[in-house]
């Protein structure tokens, strides 16, 4: 497979062109906005919990991004469905990266992980789960109400 | 003396000049490197690299310190570079040319050293929405610290400065600083700095020019521009990194407080009080990037030998060619003014394809372009995008590289749009 076909493999293009979980949740139980300072991309994540108030029932996202970030966030919405807030807050990033399954340079890694780190931020704000490492030190700028 | 009449400057031969740049000897992903990102930093010719090596090998010592011969030799080289760089921008005097670590530090120097003492409530600091963050954020920050009002000349939806808004801006208070780039790094626009200088001076304000993107491509004459300060970086001009310059009018520099404090910038140090040295040394605390400054001088020699006019003409030819080729790519929107008012920069978007993906696909073809906000988020907001793609040209750029750019864009459109 050429490098190109590897990076933009069918499943990535499919998630990019038909993103799962794209949209808003009105009155979401948890939400947050994340930015990629390298390119100015922004993503908003919305979470609705199930009746137990802890299991993720639905995740949606909106915002703009490259094929890698959009596809990764789309895959993420499927990956975390039915898991608890705590499980997702401590979800190793490799679980998502395995799903994406393509070699990523450090810059593109930031694209791929923007959705996950924003989801973890949303859970932190709503549930007090641990703040992901990439937000450490930025918390004074964050609206942590 | 050569008596052949030369009416226009010589045309440059980019193919021949490329041979001066060792970086182009390599392949990227099995293809010759097509480097279309010179606006962010330019490559270095052998003439500059040899100068650096030769200086370290034969003439290096700290400057302005030793009585011994070697230190004198090094000092002469360092000061010689200052003279060349001052002449390059037609500065009235070399002592008005301060070595810094680059345009960013030059602008911070003015914002802190001039701004903290001269700004306060009721004063207005005017930048533009077209600034690089380095000529935006320092002013925003110093205005906040001093209680001054910070405002930006707005852009229209094409990214042009709306000078008709100046009347309104003036109502905000006492205009004290106007800061603008001579050439925009995001769009290539050559901005009407002379006009803004005159407007600033009529109001008793100082004019600060960010020439980081102009100096490599466009002849600069600080006396013609009528500005008070001008900042630029060596690394965009084929010189070493970590060195740049600030030019300022002597009377302003002399009245200013220092910026960095420490060794070498003093006249005398006592427990009760320290007095400052003369300019430019008052602003050159600590050991300077000495070899880099000497290399910067060699880069200015290199550009001067080729001729800045010839470089500008070459880039404009490439720009016109690139705009033609890009117009053939489906779904492509190009930003920026007409080629006559523009340096060799093309910013564009491909409908339905994110700039990161465009840049990635081009990289696989060995073509290096920039994708992002180019440190110009206020401009991006005006254009209604998060990011753009940017291809930029320099004296070593050849038309084949633009062909490869266009081919890559057709491919990106086919695959992702
Ligand atoms: C217009 C403009 N101003 C300022 C800068 C900052 O220059 P430096 O990073 O060398 O300090 C740049 C560099 O990207 C620029 O393009």
- Residues A34-44 have pLDDT tens digits of 988 777 788 99
Please report the pLDDT score of residue B141 as a whole number.
Answer: 98
Low-confidence ranges of chain A (pLDDT < 50): 139-145
Average pLDDT, chain A: 87
Q: What is the pLDDT of residues B230-258, one digit of tens each?
A: 999 999 999 999 999 999 999 999 999 99
Please report the pLDDT score of residue A71 as a whole number.
Answer: 92
**Which residues have a Cβ under 8 Å from the Cβ of B393 and sit 6 or more positions away?**
B36, B38, B314, B315, B318, B319, B322, B344, B345
Q: From atom 9 of ligand 1, which residue's Cα is the shortest distance away?
A: B104
| B364, closest residue in chain A (CA to CA) | A4
- Looking at the fold, whether B25 and B78 belong to one and the same domain comes out as no
Please report the pLDDT score of residue B11 as a whole number.
Answer: 92
- Give B361's contacts in chain A (Cβ within 8 Å): 4
- Looking at the fold, whether B283 and B327 belong to one and the same domain comes out as no
| Ligand 1 atom showing the smallest separation from residue B134 Cα | 4
Q: What is the pLDDT of residues B49-65, one digit of tens each?
A: 999 999 999 999 999 87
More confident: B46 or A135: B46
Q: What is the pLDDT of residues B366-409, one digit of tens each?
A: 999 999 888 888 898 888 888 899 999 999 999 999 999 999 99
Task: Please confirm whether the linkage preceding B280 is cis (ω < 30° from 0).
Answer: yes
Pick the last residue of a domain from B304, B339, B356. Answer: B304
Please report the pLDDT score of residue B359 as a whole number.
Answer: 94
- Residue B113 CA to residue B221 CA, distance in Å, equals 24
In this complex, the residue of B29, B361, B373 whose CB is nearest that of residue A39 is B373
Domain assignment present for B17 = yes
As for how many domains chain B has, the answer is 2
Best A66, A70, A113 member to test B by mutation, with max B CBs in 10 Å, is A66
B23 pLDDT more than 80 = yes
Mapped onto helix, strand or coil, the DSSP state of residue B123 is: strand
Chain B interface includes A16 (CB < 8 A): yes
Mean pLDDT of B277-294: 96
DSSP code string of B363-408: HHTTEE-EEE-TT-HHHHHHHT-S-EEEEE--TT--HHHHHHHHHH
B299 pLDDT more than 50 = yes
As for how many domains chain A has, the answer is 1
In this complex, do A108 and B371 lie within 8 Å of one another by their Cβ atoms?
no
- Residue A109 CA to residue A34 CA, distance in Å, equals 15
- Looking at the fold, whether B253 and B319 belong to one and the same domain comes out as no
ipTM over 0.85? The verdict is: no
- Looking at the fold, whether B92 and B220 belong to one and the same domain comes out as yes
Please report the pLDDT score of residue A136 as a whole number.
Answer: 65
The verdict on the CB of residue B210 being under 6 Å from ligand 1 is yes
CATH number at residue B290: 3.40.640.10
Backbone φ and ψ for B20, nearest 5 degrees, come out as -75, -10
Extended strands (E) in B106-251 = 123-128, 149-153, 174-181, 206-210, 229-233, 244-248
Mean pLDDT of B281-297: 97
- B375 noted as active-site residue: yes
In this complex, do A66 and B354 lie within 8 Å of one another by their Cβ atoms?
yes
The verdict on the CB of residue B102 being under 6 Å from ligand 1 is yes
Ligand 1 pocket test, candidate residues B106, B212, B336, most atoms within 8 A of CB? B212
In this complex, the residue of A8, A64, A70 whose CB is nearest that of residue B386 is A64
- Looking at the fold, whether B21 and B94 belong to one and the same domain comes out as no
Please report the pLDDT score of residue B61 as a whole number.
Answer: 93
B114 pLDDT more than 60 = yes
CATH number at residue A66: 3.90.1010.10
CATH number at residue B338: 3.90.1150.10
Average pLDDT, chain B: 94
- Residue B133 CA to residue B144 CA, distance in Å, equals 16
- Separation of CA B232 and ligand 1 centre (Å): 8
Range of the domain at B374: 2-32+307-416
Contact B297, B289 (CB under 8 A): no
Please report the pLDDT score of residue B2 as a whole number.
Answer: 43
- Give A8's contacts in chain B (Cβ within 8 Å): 357, 415-416
Q: What is the pLDDT of residues B348-364, one digit of tens each?
A: 999 989 999 999 999 98
The verdict on the CB of residue B189 being under 6 Å from ligand 1 is no
- Alpha-helical regions (H) of B248-368: 250-255, 290-306, 308-327, 355-364
The tokens describing B67, both together, are: 């009585």
In this complex, do A3 and B364 lie within 8 Å of one another by their Cβ atoms?
yes
Q: Quote the DSSP letter at residue B342.
A: B
- Looking at the fold, whether B11 and B118 belong to one and the same domain comes out as no
B342: Cα within 13 Å, side-chain hemisphere? 23
Domain assignment present for A141 = no
Phi-psi region of B350 (alpha: psi -120 to 50; beta: other; left: phi over 0): beta
Q: What is the pLDDT of residues B116-154, one digit of tens each?
A: 999 999 999 999 999 999 999 999 999 999 999 999 999
């Amino acid at each position: 497979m050429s490098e190109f076909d590897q990076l933009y493999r069918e499943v990535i293009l499919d998630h990019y062109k038909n993103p799962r979980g794209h949209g808003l949740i009105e009155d979401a139980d948890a939400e947050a906005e994340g930015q990629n300072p390298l390119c100015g991309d922004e993503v908003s994540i919305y979470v609705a919990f199930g009746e137990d108030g802890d299991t993720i029932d639905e995740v949606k996202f909106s915002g703009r991004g490259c094929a890698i970030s959009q596809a990764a966030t789309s895959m993420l919405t499927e990956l975390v469905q039915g898991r608890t807030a705590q499980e997702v807050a401590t979800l190793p990033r490799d679980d998502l990266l395995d799903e994406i399954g393509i070699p990523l340079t450090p810059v593109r890694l930031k694209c791929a992980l923007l959705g996950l780190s924003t989801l973890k931020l949303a859970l932190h704000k709503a549930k007090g789960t641990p703040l992901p490492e990439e937000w450490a030190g930025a918390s004074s700028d964050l609206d942590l109400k | 003396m050569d008596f052949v009449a030369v009416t226009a400057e010589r045309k440059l031969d980019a193919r021949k000049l490329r041979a001066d740049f060792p970086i182009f000897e390599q392949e990227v992903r099995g293809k010759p490197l097509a480097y279309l990102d010179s606006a962010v930093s330019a490559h270095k010719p052998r003439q500059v690299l040899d100068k650096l090596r030769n200086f370290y090998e034969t003439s290096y010592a700290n400057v302005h310190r030793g009585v011994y011969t070697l230190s004198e030799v090094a000092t002469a080289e360092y000061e010689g570079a200052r003279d060349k760089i001052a002449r390059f921008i037609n500065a009235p005097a070399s002592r008005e040319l301060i070595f810094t670590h680059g345009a960013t530090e030059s602008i911070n120097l003015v914002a802190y050293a001039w701004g903290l003492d001269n700004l306060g409530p009721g004063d207005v600091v005017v930048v533009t929405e077209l600034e690089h963050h380095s000529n935006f954020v320092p002013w925003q920050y110093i205005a906040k610290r001093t209680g001054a009002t910070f405002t930006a000349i707005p852009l229209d939806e094409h990214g042009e400065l709306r000078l008709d808004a100046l009347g309104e801006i003036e109502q905000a208070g006492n205009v004290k600083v106007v800061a603008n780039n001579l050439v925009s790094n995001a769009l290539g626009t050559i901005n009407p700095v002379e006009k803004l200088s005159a407007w600033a001076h009529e109001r008793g304000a100082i004019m600060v020019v960010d020439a980081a993107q102009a100096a490599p491509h466009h002849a600069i004459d600080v006396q013609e521009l009528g500005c008070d300060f001008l900042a630029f970086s060596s690394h965009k001009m084929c010189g070493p990194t970590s060195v740049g310059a600030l030019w300022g009018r002597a009377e302003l520099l002399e009245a200013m407080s220092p910026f960095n404090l420490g060794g070498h910038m003093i006249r005398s140090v006592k427990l009760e009080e320290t007095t400052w040295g003369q300019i430019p040394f008052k602003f050159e605390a600590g050991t300077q990037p000495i070899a880099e400054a000497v290399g910067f001088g060699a880069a200015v020699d290199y550009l001067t030998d080729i001729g800045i006019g010839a470089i500008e003409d070459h880039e404009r030819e490439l720009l016109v060619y690139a705009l033609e080729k890009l117009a053939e790519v489906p779904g492509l929107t190009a930003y920026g003014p007409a080629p006559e008012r523009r340096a060799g920069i093309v910013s564009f978007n491909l409908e339905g394809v994110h700039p990161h993906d465009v840049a990635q696909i081009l990289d696989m073809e060995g073509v290096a372009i920039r994708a992002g906000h180019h440190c110009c988020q206020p401009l991006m907001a005006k254009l209604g995008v998060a990011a753009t793609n940017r291809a930029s040209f320099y004296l070593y750029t050849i038309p084949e590289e633009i062909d490869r750019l266009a081919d890559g864009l057709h491919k990106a459109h086919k695959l992702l749009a």
